[in-house]
Amino acid sequence: MKTETTFKPGLEGVIAAETAISLLDTEQEKIVIKGHDLIELSKHNDYLDIVHLLLENKLPSKEEKAALEEKLKERYQVPSAIIEILRLLPEHTHPMDGMRTGLSALAGYDEHLLDRSLAVNKDRAYDLLAKLPAITVNSYRILNKQEPVLPRKDLSYSANFLYMITGEVPTAQRAEIFDRSLLLYSEHEMPNSTFTARVIASTQSDLFGALTGAVASLKGHLHGGANEAVMYMLNEVDSVEGFEELLMKKLHNKEKIMGFGHRVYMKKMDPRALMMKQSLKKLCETKGDFQLLEMCEAGEEVMRREKELYPNLDYYAAPVYWLLGIPIELYTPIFFSARTVGLSAHVIEQHQNNRLFRPRVHYIGEKY
Ligand SMILES: CC(=O)SCCNC(=O)CCNC(=O)[C@H](O)C(C)(C)COP(=O)(O)OP(=O)(O)OC[C@H]1O[C@@H](n2cnc3c(N)ncnc32)[C@H](O)[C@@H]1OP(=O)(O)O
Ligand SMILES: O=C([O-])CC(=O)C(=O)O
């Protein structure tokens, strides 16, 4: 039998879906989300604006945003059995795996699991957005032998998320910087995790299953797991010179440097990284200590000079989260929580206009 032999390793450049959700327009240097540029949005809007944009196709009015925030707050409560499931996990479990388990178990609470209609799918997405911060934080807390923390409805969605993580009500500056990080992580066209979610959804599987698969995809160091790996790398040394030497040693050993490179941006800096770098600058100014920023900038210079590679979002998210006092094992779960809205929009779109993903192979096995 003759088969298609055009093969692109890693599906580089292959168009995998038609979508009205987002596009990385590298020529115009825009991250287009439903017709808006994400970077421009990050200057004037907040995370809940993007949630509304992605799930309701428009930026919200003041009243619509207030209603959205209220809807999420009403659904904050995580079923107690989910917390009990997290308590049963071995103590070395990574919070990303705790979150994957909690998210997967939530399917059992959905009374309309077979319903793929737009209204029910959107309702599910809001429910996940409401509950995932608590599942994320509590999987970390329980695994670290701390009591679960309850959400606070008197704080904004993002401020509450950060409060649950650190145990302190954040200052306006810290809440704003955290919110911006959620916004920048919210949606990014067709990364591996989104592709995974759409592939799963294309069998008519449900949102919980599609997102559970996406957690596993996003956990890997070549994808979302890079933000944690960046911070471990920065913590290996305590000076600018030490960081430069570390990077040179890793490059000499042909290791990949976490937080650099990107399949789509390739030889340019991820525009989201630039916004996150501004947040890092602000936090350093407030702290009166610029060491982390200086280390990161020195790393940028080494990678540009040696490899012509530029930072992606994870490179600058890591030191920002560090200065916000966030435990490293929560960096990737936070990325996933923020991306839940983008992933949900893609699963909903896939369900609305579905064709099963089923590609072919280029056979290189034994002759037959
Ligand atoms: C928010 C996000 O999820 S962004 C991605 C986060 N991931 C990371 O930061 C992990 C580090 N980066 C990487 O591994 C890659 O750049 C990826 C996975 C992001 C993109 O990978 P690909 O498009 O498949 O590029 P690929 O891995 O083939 O790299 C192409 C070349 O650049 C080199 N390269 C790419 N990234 C890096 C890096 N971070 N450090 C060192 N070299 C690199 C490769 O070694 C390869 O060199 P070669 O042609 O001499 O063999
Ligand atoms: O687009 C990608 O391949 C990875 C990425 O930056 C993201 O998911 O935010």
User: Using one digit for the tens of pLDDT, what is the confidence trace for 108-159?
Assistant: 999 999 999 999 999 999 999 999 999 999 999 998 999 999 999 999 999 9
Half-sphere exposure of 177 (CA within 13 A, CB side): 26
Confirm or reject: Cβ of 307 under 6 Å from ligand 1: yes
Residues annotated as catalytic are 223, 262, 314
Residue nearest to atom 3 of ligand 2 (CA): 191
User: What's the rounded Cα separation, in Å, for the pair 293 and 296?
Assistant: 5
pLDDT band with cut points at 50, 70 and 90 for residue 5: low
Expressed in angstroms and rounded, the spacing between residue 309 Cα and the centre of ligand 1 is 9
Does residue 3 surpass a pLDDT of 90?
Answer: no
Q: Give the ligand at the shortest distance from the Cα of 226.
A: 1
Q: Which atom of ligand 1 is nearest to the CA of 10?
A: 24
- Asked whether 274 and 320 are in contact (CB, 8 A), the reply is no
pLDDT digits (tens, 9 = 90+) for 46-62: 999 999 999 999 999 99
Does residue 211 surpass a pLDDT of 90?
Answer: yes
pLDDT digits (tens, 9 = 90+) for 339-355: 999 999 999 999 999 99
pLDDT digits (tens, 9 = 90+) for 277-311: 999 999 999 999 999 999 999 999 999 999 999 99
Confirm or reject: Cβ of 332 under 6 Å from ligand 1: no
pLDDT digits (tens, 9 = 90+) for 151-182: 999 999 999 999 999 999 999 999 999 999 99
The mean pLDDT of 233-255, rounded to a whole number, is 98
Query: N- to C-terminal Cα distance for the chain?
Result: 11
Residue nearest to atom 43 of ligand 1 (CA): 256
Q: Which atom of ligand 2 is nearest to the CA of 313?
A: 6
pLDDT confidence of residue 266:
84
Note the residue count of the chain.
368
Does residue 4 surpass a pLDDT of 60?
Answer: no
* Pairing relationship of beta strands 36-37 and 22-25 according to DSSP bridges: unpaired
User: pLDDT > 90: what percent of the chain?
Assistant: 97
Q: Give the ligand at the shortest distance from the Cα of 10.
A: 1
Does residue 366 surpass a pLDDT of 70?
Answer: yes
Q: Give the ligand at the shortest distance from the Cα of 214.
A: 2
Expressed in angstroms and rounded, the spacing between residue 364 Cα and the centre of ligand 1 is 26
Q: Nearest Cα to 339, choosing from 157, 165, 18, 125?
A: 125
**Burial (CB count <10 Å: 0-12, 13-18, 19+), residue 304:** middle
Rounded to 5 degrees, φ, ψ at 32 are: -85, 125
User: pLDDT > 70: what percent of the chain?
Assistant: 99
Expressed in angstroms and rounded, the spacing between residue 91 Cα and the centre of ligand 1 is 32
Half-sphere exposure of 272 (CA within 13 A, CB side): 25
Place domain 226-323 in its CATH homologous superfamily: Cytochrome P450-Terp, domain 2 (1.10.230.10)
Most informative mutation of 217, 222, 253 for ligand 1 (most atoms within 8 A of CB): 222
Expressed in angstroms and rounded, the spacing between residue 266 Cα and the centre of ligand 1 is 8
CATH architecture of 30-179+187-220+337-352: Orthogonal Bundle (1.10)
Q: Domain limits of the chain?
A: 30-179+187-220+337-352, 226-323
pLDDT band with cut points at 50, 70 and 90 for residue 267: confident
pLDDT confidence of residue 100:
97
Q: Nearest Cα to 187, choosing from 64, 50, 311?
A: 50
Please give the sequence-ordered ranges of beta strands (E in DSSP) within 10-145, or none if there are none: 22-25, 30-33, 36-37
List all residues 6 or more positions away from 296 whose beta carbon is below 8 Å from its beta carbon: 234, 277, 280, 311, 315, 316, 319
pLDDT confidence of residue 123:
97
Expressed in angstroms and rounded, the spacing between residue 313 Cα and the centre of ligand 2 is 8
Amino acid letter, residue 297: E
Token duo for residue 343: 């992933």
Whole-number mean pLDDT of the chain?
A: 96
Confirm or reject: Cβ of 266 under 6 Å from ligand 1: no
Its pTM stands at 0.97
Give one DSSP letter per residue of 269-334, joined into a string: --HHHHHHHHHHHHHHHHHT--HHHHHHHHHHHHHHHHH---B-HHHHHHHHHHHTT--GGGHHHH
List all residues 6 or more positions away from 332 whose beta carbon is below 8 Å from its beta carbon: 96, 218, 219, 224, 225, 227, 228
